[in-house]
Amino acid sequence: MEIIKYGNPILRKKAKSINKIDKSIRDLIVDMFDIMHNSTPKGVGLAAPQIGLPIQLIVIETEPNKQLSLINPEIIESKGKDTALEGCLSIPGVWGNVIRAKKIKVRGINPNNSKKIILEAEGILARAIQHEVDHLNGILFTDYIEKIEDLCVDEGFVIPEKLRLYYKERK
């Protein structure tokens, strides 16, 4: 499995909700964490559409071994504002400041026991959840960034051609 990169229309599709949680979903979650661990630069979250599956599943690991996976996640409360640098495995090596809610409440299904859960999150975890839930709605972090000049790029990486074009057309 490979991570789908910026410009692929799959990333812009609205993901479908999951109504059957079986072994194949749990295996997929394990694979998604593996993909995340093996990527360069390392990611803290991955959404199923990023591996070509338009289904509502996200995985997050903001701290080593502190794994969170959520099915059909929905943000039901947002409080405050916070700005921080954000990146995405579908746009590797490219970073930009994004304003997000500081604290959130998210509702979803825990794939480990198939039970509904409501989680409260803040800081980097809240940011990661908002970023991944955006993926399920076809939104990428660069959509929030107005100018190409506001992006920073790691050495050895480039801004994808389609993203350059997007900013050119916005002018």
Binding-site ranges for Co ion (CB under 5 A):
88
Q: Compute the least distance from the CB of residue 171 to Co ion, in Å.
A: 25
> In which element (H, E) is residue 135 found?
helix 123-136
> Under 8 Å CB-to-CB from 165, ≥6 apart: which residues?
none
Taking the least distance from each CB to Co ion, the nearer of 118 and 152 is: 152
Taking the least distance from each CB to Co ion, the nearer of 108 and 134 is: 134
Q: Compute the least distance from the CB of residue 7 to Co ion, in Å.
A: 14
* Active site (annotated) includes residue 132: yes
- Active-site choice (132, 146, 149, 161): 132
User: Rounded to the nearest 5°, which phi and psi values hold at 99?
Assistant: -85, 125
Residue number of the CB closest to Co ion reads: 88
The DSSP bridge partners found for residue 95 are 87, 152
Q: Is 122 exposed, middle or buried (0-12, 13-18, 19+ CB in 10 A)?
A: middle
Taking the least distance from each CB to Co ion, the nearer of 21 and 71 is: 71
Active site positions, annotated: 132
